[in-house]
Structure 1
């Protein structure tokens, strides 16, 4: 009996020492860019990302998107595109054409994040019934596709934490067939802090989305920007995707260079952000990958494809992606 117990204890001890630890969760598989409307995505009407026109058919949208999405992949190394939606776009004839952007990205093996942008720019869902109809249509069309992710609302700054959690809980209940791991819950305010939504039991299992920008402060060191960013994420880095972060790409700034990144608001900000996401294995979806008239735009249209606006900005973003 003593011999049997001794062997059992030895086996148990060996299991403790040799059993592999589970891999840590991470979101760095999201290497993305936003494709945005030149008017910004807060529009009371159809959202029409740069390069498209309201008269485009599905076939035309698909052809144009093929060139743009291919550019995101080959020039940047992106595997994710974030696209805006609103009820005016989805609950109308435009949706039949606009779906060409989603279908193109999926055909290229990309992930797609579909995010609701409200029209009034007051931080609230404009019309709950229309919002529900929109999401019913979108989920019916793409809910079964594992490469499509859903962000119930962009920048819900009108809501208190409790009201925002309640709204998202209702979304999750209404669309319970969508795995929670394919839903990005925006941080409170301007998506600027995920600790509240991260701590909510009602939102367990979801991803979280954070926005972080260099025009929010005037720091000129990476250390100061890192200190600003860290408490916005708290203990939830493994669930968080920064799905908006960007800096001027058409003003001649150099974003690579180690110590030389300090001394300027935007180079230090972008270095700190990408250093942090790399170290924490977090995903980044840059704002914007393409948007005409936006100095932050990482690319510009070039024939049927794209051209890069700032090679050092691309290099620093790829560093943040872990590439």
Structure 2
């Protein structure tokens, strides 16, 4: 029997739980009026500070709702460079404007979430590119030195150096970012996450090809480490990645898959700090859910996912995730409920798309580790099922022998999914991917699944059946922690979550 090692690009078994660590929403308003040339009229700013009688949306109330009702733990707080320095390039932070922005930051920190400071200027100031004919590196460093000094004592602050740079020289931009990293750490902000954005509007589709990812991952902290230096990733689903069209033409899994493969090979991580889709229409609902399920499934390299946007946007905004109010309480729209929160807490009902054999082998060469999964080829005509019942703290398992006698000269990739949810704060999802690689005419093997759960009062049972390539599985479980293992053609995979 010819067996080839295969590491799923989703790396779910290695991770245990297939979901990102941080989930959140952009609380917009401080960015209002900003154009892609870096012009941001301060008169257009609408910080979402209605709770403080300062106008804009109810950012404080929204963040409380998202954190308490949805479990979100990361909020992105955009602000323009012009606002922070009251239109005086190179000046000290304006005390009055900073105080207003800090009210939003403190409201965010009060939820217990991580709070992302996002300078929303497209690597520019009124048309000039930072360090490339526009503002000097020293002026940009001054901005971040002051911000880092102010928030150095807040472990939950995340520094997003710049929103969506574009049309710039990548090596020069990377050198600018290195100066800012050094300044932030030297100001005493030693442990906070720093997000590093690339050119082409930080698009997942171009981060690798443009050389941005490679250049940014070469940057270091002053001590030479790369701890908490993460790649910043954006991507929309519309025709030109602008987030201005209602139609969703892609689920972006190819683009995010390319970034995930790069990160895995480099041994680094990223945060998807901006992505969004129009709430109306079944195509957007389906594709946005598929995208976010894919990002969660690749949570070994994607640390967080932040959707765009709420804050000072009203509910009619084309990408609006601003909750409506009903009986004095905030209520999420369907897109937020299903595709943002739903794919995080319960996993998407859409199966992640298969990766090619070439991608699988590339992942295999770079991942490794005790949690990596392996598989052997099985015929797509093979049929088997496995059930797991856990009651009263006692687990049982059943297994069946798979026999395939039909020739399979070009086997297809098949995916099965095991889904377990409960009343716990952290429901879990596990998936495994079986690759049909170089299958002989006959394959005989065993697939066996076992699960052990510690019962928790109030936990609910769920059941999911997924069939792909003739393989099906149904699972029903209750309780808390699960040990999941599978044996495929005598090659074992395992994960704990």
* TM-score bin (small chain): 0.7 to 0.9
Q: Does 1:298 align with 2:321?
A: yes
Q: What is the Cα-based RMSD across aligned positions, in Å?
A: 3.5
- Report the equivalent of 1:124: 129
Q: Is the contact made by 1:299 and 1:306 (CA closer than 8 Å) also made in structure 2? A: no
Q: Bigger relative contact order, structure 1 or 2, given CA contacts below 8 A and separation 6+? A: 1
Structure 1 position 311 matched with structure 2 position 341 = no
1:32 alignment partner, SS class: strand
Q: 1:134 to 1:302 in 2, by over 3 A?
A: farther
TM-score, normalisation: structure 1: 0.74
The equivalent of 2:70 in structure 1 is 76
> What residue ranges of structure 1 are gaps of 5+ in the alignment?
1-21, 255-263
SS for the counterpart of 1:81 is strand
Cα offset for 1:295?
A: 1.8
Structure number with the higher helix fraction is: 1
**Equivalent pair of 2:78/2:117 in contact (CA under 8 Å):** yes
Q: Aligned-pair distance for 1:276? A: 1.0
Alpha-carbon separation, structure 2, partners of 1:47 and 1:27: 37
Q: Secondary structure at the match of 2:238?
A: helix
* The one of 76, 93, 98 aligned to 1:95: 98
Q: Gaps (5+ residues) in structure 2?
A: 1-13, 85-92, 221-225, 241-246, 347-497
Alpha-carbon distance in structure 2 between the residues aligned to 1:121 and 1:213:
25
Q: Retained in 2: the 8 A contact 1:82–1:113?
A: yes
Is residue 214 from structure 1 mapped to residue 219 from structure 2 by the alignment? no
| Alignment partner of 1:108 is 2:135 | no
Q: How does 1:5-84 map to 2 (within 5 A)?
A: 28-37=20-29, 39-42=32-35, 43-45=40-42, 48-49=45-46, 51-52=48-49, 64-84=58-78
Q: Which residue of 2 aligns with 1:18?
A: none
Q: Provide the rounded CA distance (Å) in 2 between the counterparts of 1:248 and 1:149.
A: 27
**In structure 2, what is the Cα distance between the partners aligned to 1:305 and 1:36?**
22
Q: 1:70 to 1:173 in 2, by over 3 A?
A: same
Structure in which a larger fraction of residues adopt strand: 2
Hey, what's the Cα distance between the residues in 2 that align with 1:304 and 1:138?
39
Query: Which protein has the larger Cα radius of gyration, Structure 1 or Structure 2?
Result: 2
Question: Using the alignment, how far apart are the partners of 1:301 and 1:161 within structure 2?
Answer: 41
Corresponding residue to 1:202 among 214, 219, 222: 219
For residues 327 and 173 of structure 2, the distance between their equivalents in structure 1, rounded to whole angstroms, comes to 41
Quick check: 2:238–2:250 contact (8 Å CA) kept in 1? Answer: no
Residue 107 of structure 1 and its aligned partner are, at CA, apart by: 1.4
Structure 2 contact 49–60 (Cα < 8 Å) conserved: no
Q: How many Å apart are 1:155 and its aligned residue?
A: 0.8
Note the alpha carbon deviations across 1:205-228, whole angstroms, 9 max, x for none. 411111110114687565xx3224
- Comparing 79-88 with 42-51, greater Cα deviation is found at 42-51
Alpha-carbon distance in structure 1 between the residues aligned to 2:194 and 2:19: 13
- The question of whether the paired residues in 1 share the 8 Å contact of 2:149 and 2:189 is answered with no
Q: Distance in 2 between matches of 1:24 and 1:315?
A: 22
